[in-house]
Structure 1
Amino acid sequence: MLTLRQMTYFVALADTRSFSAAAERVHVTQPALSQQIKEMELNLGAQLVERLPRDIRLTRAGQVVLERAQKILAMTRDLEAEIRQSKGLNGRLSLGVIPTIAPYLLPRALTRIKAAALDLDLRVREAQTADLLTAVINGQLDAAVIALPYDVAGVMAEPLFTDYFLLAGSKSRIDALSAPVAPPRPTDLPPDALLLLDEGHCLADQALDVCGLTRARQTVDLGASSLSTLCGLVAQGFGLTFVPEIALCSEQAASPDMTVLRFPEPQPQRTIALVRRHSTEAKTWFTDLAALLSEAGSELMEEARRRG
């Protein structure tokens, strides 16, 4: 009979394509992991893995086992999460947050969460949206804070607050754009002046969308790995970028030479939301967590609007 431990080892092996890397991931020795995989093959009466000199490859039977094992492990994590969270915000909770939200929202939100749930063991992971959604669906995260619009098939989204995009640059660049005429619309911006985040960051995709551009336009510079890097560059006159309101106070404190301009109505925006799996029962932990995150985010928005 297959065990959950064996399925965990097998999924790790399929993910890493290496017995040594898989053993390191699940914190066992390589011989121990290899022995468990062999026992799986004996129990099933089929070869699951082709052992190559520098790689491993799943057989057809291995692909079937992998698909089923991933579903079984996800269901197990769902069960554990429901038991942990059945009484609200306590026990252990794993939360993902995208990089353009985490450094701004978390310091404010964690203070509220700690005050409201002293017994909560909160684990936070920062990653890009696609990785977080995969982790939520697979049961590796209980919930995640992401920016909408985004394809959220398989998960339920609870909107938290609206985050508007501001145009940021040096004072001379922003002054040149705002006078003597009305502020520009995003579609009026020169593409060769835009600096955006690396491919994979949803903020870059959303900025391109509101400007009516695509990644095929080589005049758009897509390369910075963090919003702080972008703000530092544009503050010194190296182009323009989009700054979400949630980041304004922090980034202007770090780059005081950066000036921002609010776009005319309708202002470009994104909705920040908390997501969970559809299969996870809507216990009070989710609504309580959403309320605390929403309060923290709304407070940051008010401060940004007073400043901006």
Structure 2
Amino acid sequence: MIAMRPLPSFRQLSYLVAVVDLCHFGKAADACGVTQSTLSAGIRELEEVLGAPLLERTKRQVIATPLGRDMAARARELLKAAEDMVDAARSSKDTMAGPLRLGVIPTIGPFVLPHAMPRLRKAFPRLRLFLREEQTAPLLAKLRAGELDAVLLALPYAVGDDLEAIDIADDPFSAVYPPGRAEPPGKPVRPGDIAFENLLLLEDGHCLRDQALAACHLEGARRNEEFQGTSLHTLVQMVAAGLGITLLPQMAIDAGILRGTKLETRPLAGKPSSRRIGLAWRRRSARKETFRTLAAALKDELAKGRRAVPR
């Protein structure tokens, strides 16, 4: 018989990751759903198994040793692999069942999910969607760390070789003007004309800012750096106040973001000016069929929403 060495348990590894991430025993215990004494005992048992201290404990704080940080990084990979094993087993029975943690960016979520969620629940009653809204970079970081299963985002965006993304829809941009400024209303406007306008954009950190400029070929346009929006709704209010013009994606316009205003829109002339809506997931995930099915459902939902808008 081969003698087996004592090995860490997944529970012990999850305790270590929580403590290293939160730097606090009490908060880590709450995050793991156990008492502080249980968590502390688990960490001590882990240190005994590994034969080395992982944490420096004081009355005021807890600090991971260099080995502790290394072990926590390895533990995250092991825990993520274990989750993928469970996901693979579940998806073999029903690909559209169980929990799915979906990240979504702020320039998509409010304009898609209110209509899509009820239909998704009806189509996939055994799928439990948990949503998190945040900007693209932190969402993808959480996706890589295993905190999210998939992310609904706008492309183009450098997602990296470790992630896989599929296109769902094309989302054209339109120029939005204060009342009486879009002359003539509805007629396509040349990007060159927009370059001379006081262009209002989202603040740094929102991928829509750069995507709109690139898609509309306006990288050198004059931008209002004094007034920057924190959301598309803020941009609408700024244009309504006469501070300038802006660029909005069609899904926001279709969802009624201009309702109650007298703002006017003009499509952009020339080359297609749009962003792409996509769904991204970890390339090694065992739930690829789940994500492709979800992407197809969202694609159909976006197409229905576009057809339902009167032109």
Interval containing the TM-score (normalised by the shorter chain) = 0.7 to 0.9
**Which sits farther off after the overlay, 44-53 or 85-94?**
44-53
Aligned: 1:172 with 2:177: no
Greater Rg over alpha carbons, structure: 2
| Aligned twin of 1:133 | 140
**Superposed displacement of residue 206, structure 1:** 1.7
Q: Distance in 1 between matches of 2:9 and 2:303?
A: 46
Following superposition, the deviation at residue 65 of structure 1 comes to 0.3
Provide the TM-score with structure 1 as the length reference: 0.86
Does the 8 Å contact 1:232/1:255 carry over to 2?
no
Per-residue deviation, 1:296? 1.1
Paired with 1:21 and 1:285, the residues of 2 have a C-alpha distance of 33
- 1:97 is matched with which residue? 104
What do the CA deviations read for 1:151-210 (whole angstroms, capped 9, x no partner)? 1121111110101111223123433xx69x97230684247x232223322112323444
> Aligned runs of 1:200-219 on 2, under 5 Å?
200-209=205-214, 210-213=217-220, 219=224
Counterpart pick for 1:157 among 152, 165, 170: 165
1:240 CA drift (Å): 2.0
SS state at 1:197 partner: coil
Per the alignment, residue 196 of structure 1 pairs with: 201
Q: Paired residue for 1:110?
A: 117
Q: State the AA in 2 paired with 1:292.
A: A
Q: Which runs of 5+ in 2 are unaligned?
A: 1-6
Pair 1:116–1:182, CA change in 2 (3 A):
closer
Paired residue for 2:54? Answer: 48
2: CA distance, partners of 1:52 / 1:188: 60
Calculate the aligned-residue CA RMSD, in Å: 2.7
Q: Are 2:26 and 1:20 equivalent residues in the alignment?
A: yes
Identity of aligned residues (%): 35
Per the alignment, in what secondary structure is the counterpart of residue 264 of structure 1?
coil
Query: Greater CA deviation, 119-128 or 219-228?
Result: 219-228
- Tell me the CA shift for residue 72 of structure 1: 0.6
SS in 2 for 1:96: strand
Number of the residue aligned with 2:261: 256
Equivalent-residue separation in structure 1 for 2:260 and 2:179 (angstroms):
12
Which of 278, 284, 288 is 1:279 aligned to?
A: 284
Contact preservation (8 Å) 1:235, 1:255 = no
Q: TM-score by structure 2 length?
A: 0.85
Find the residue that maps to 1:200 and give its secondary structure.
coil
Tell me how far apart the structure 1 counterparts of residues 296 and 194 of structure 2 sit (CA, whole Å): 37
Correspondence for 1:123 among 130, 145, 150: 130
Report the structure, 1 or 2, having the larger helix content.
1
Aligned length: 300
* Secondary structure of 1:220's aligned partner: coil
Q: Match of 1:21, as an amino acid?
A: K
Deviation at 1:237, TM superposition (A): 1.5
After superposition, the Cα gap between the structure-2 partners of 1:42 and 1:166, relative to the gap in structure 1 and judged at 3 Å, is same
1:266 aligns with 2:274: no
Distance 1:107 1:38 in 2: 47
Please list every run of 5 or more consecutive structure 1 residues that lacks an aligned counterpart in the other structure: none
CA distance in 1, matches of 2:202, 2:86: 37
Cα contact 1:112–1:292 (8 A) shared by 2 = no
SS in structure 2 opposite 1:113?
A: helix
CA distance in 1 between counterparts of 2:87 and 2:99 reads: 8
Q: 1:291 aligns with which of 290, 293, 296?
A: 296
